[in-house]
């Protein structure tokens, strides 16, 4: 009984610490747009809004790559599906202006259907072969969007779709400042709070999935698919579910992107975007939700820091701009990724399993550690 009391005290203390940390984090997230808007301006506030979208994308890809171990290089195609569905159903292109609460779930469902469509023929593929097929799928979707403007103009081809309705709920539109309880919430702040709410919802769903039987089945398939099948796991259905769930998150992010940007074109969904989202997952730490969120934030903000800082630094050092800031930005960004992968191959914030794998610990070591 005496040995049980310290353990209960430790549990209560850890719960109090978690509650305090959650409250502090909530206050910081709520005040963040006001701090950034007043200190750095609206351009950086837009970057933070895009960071929320990339976090949703990274969490969706993490289900496929991090949990199930299926390398997907065409994930941005699901982002495109959600964005174009919103653009076509809420713009003058077809004369439709459907409500957001109908289009966003429809985009998630359609992207999930395309995810299952991609997953079905690739169930027997792994590694490089799966990567090649998914890369081809992403390029096929982009090429279709580029060419579906004749003989029937569906996507408006390379010109893209413009005049897209902003995100709105009834008479409240996020494109204009919102009066709430006597306070005026600027447009970019309102977008931030909406994106934050949906990102937190996706985080909640992902955590529940990770701790469920489905999440454990994904991990079993990632570690050893033959052993998972021998244990009675229906690997076919579980893989399809990973593709479907991951794609649906991409569809949600795509719809929000279209409503936020007001314009979509096929060039917004090229291979580089897929690589960027994959880098967020790998850099942050595959299979670890906080790590993926960290990777999404860093890889959204760092390129912009390099973009804004490359010119002034060159002027301060050499009194002239020797290299184009855009080219130098990508060079520095690439070098930063290489350095991180050399010294933190498991990611900046890896899961416990990944950390042990890179340390070379065996299953026996892990069991001894738990004793």
Q: Which domain holds residue 127?
A: 43-283
Is it the case that residue 360 has pLDDT exceeding 80? Answer: no
For residue 254, being part of any structural domain is answered with yes
* Residue 60 near residue 120 (C-beta atoms within 8 A): no
Q: How confident is the model at residue 331, as a pLDDT?
A: 77
Is it the case that residue 83 has pLDDT exceeding 90? Answer: yes
Q: How confident is the model at residue 119, as a pLDDT?
A: 84
The average pLDDT across 181-188 equals: 83
For residue 278, being part of any structural domain is answered with yes
Of 120, 59, 53, nearest to 246 by C-alpha is 59
For residue 306, being part of any structural domain is answered with no
For residue 114, being part of any structural domain is answered with yes
For residue 141, being part of any structural domain is answered with yes
How far is it, in rounded angstroms, from Cα 206 to Cα 187? 29
367 confidence band (pLDDT: 50, 70, 90): very low
Is it the case that residue 370 has pLDDT exceeding 50? Answer: no
How far is it, in rounded angstroms, from Cα 19 to Cα 36? 26
For residue 52, being part of any structural domain is answered with yes
Q: Could you identify the residue written with the tokens 């910081």?
A: 28
* Residue 194 near residue 33 (C-beta atoms within 8 A): no
For residue 191, being part of any structural domain is answered with yes
3-state secondary structure 132-183: HHHHHHHHHHHHHHHHCCCCCCCCCHHHCEECCCCCEECCEECCCCEEECCE
How far is it, in rounded angstroms, from Cα 101 to Cα 29? 24
- Give pLDDT tens digits for 266-302: 998 988 889 889 989 988 888 889 999 999 998 888 8
217 confidence band (pLDDT: 50, 70, 90): very high
For residue 366, being part of any structural domain is answered with no
pTM: 0.88
Number of domains making up the chain: 1
């Amino acid at each position: 009984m005496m040995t049980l009391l310290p353990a209960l005290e430790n549990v209560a203390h850890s719960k109090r610490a978690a509650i305090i940390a959650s409250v502090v984090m909530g206050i910081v997230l709520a005040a963040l747009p006001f701090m950034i808007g007043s200190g750095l301006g609206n351009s950086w506030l837009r970057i933070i809004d895009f960071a929320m979208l990339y976090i949703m994308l990274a969490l969706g890809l993490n289900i496929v790559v991090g949990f199930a171990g299926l390398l997907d290089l065409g994930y941005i195609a699901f982002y495109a599906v959600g964005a174009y569905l919103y653009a076509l159903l809420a713009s003058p292109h077809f004369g439709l202006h459907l409500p957001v609460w109908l289009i966003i779930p429809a985009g998630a469902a359609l992207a999930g259907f395309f995810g299952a469509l991609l997953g079905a023929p690739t169930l027997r593929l792994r590694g490089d072969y799966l990567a090649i097929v998914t890369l081809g799928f992403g390029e096929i979707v982009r090429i279709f969007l580029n060419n579906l403007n004749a003989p029937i103009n569906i996507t408006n081809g390379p010109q893209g779709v413009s005049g897209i309705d902003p995100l709105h709920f009834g008479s409240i539109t996020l494109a204009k400042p919102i009066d709430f309880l006597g306070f005026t919430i600027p447009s970019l702040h309102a977008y931030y709070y909406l994106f934050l709410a949906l990102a937190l919802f996706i985080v909640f769903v992902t955590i529940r999935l990770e701790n469920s039987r489905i999440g454990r089945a994904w991990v079993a398939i990632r570690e050893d698919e033959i052993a998972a099948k021998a244990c009675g796991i229906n690997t076919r259905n579980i893989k399809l579910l990973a593709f479907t769930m991951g794609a649906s998150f991409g569809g949600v992010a795509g719809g929000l992107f279209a409503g936020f940007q007001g314009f979509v074109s096929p060039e917004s969904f090229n291979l580089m975007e897929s690589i960027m989202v994959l880098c967020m997952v790998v850099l942050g730490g595959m299979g670890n939700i906080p790590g993926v969120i960290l990777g999404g934030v860093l890889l959204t903000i760092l390129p912009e820091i390099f973009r804004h800082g490359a010119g002034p630094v060159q002027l301060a050092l050499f009194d002239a701009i020797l290299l184009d800031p855009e080219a130098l930005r990508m060079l520095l960004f690439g070098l930063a990724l290489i350095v991180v992968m050399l010294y933190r191959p498991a990611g900046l914030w890896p899961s416990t399993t990944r950390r042990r794998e890179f340390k070379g610990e065996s299953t026996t070591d892990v069991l001894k550690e738990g004793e």
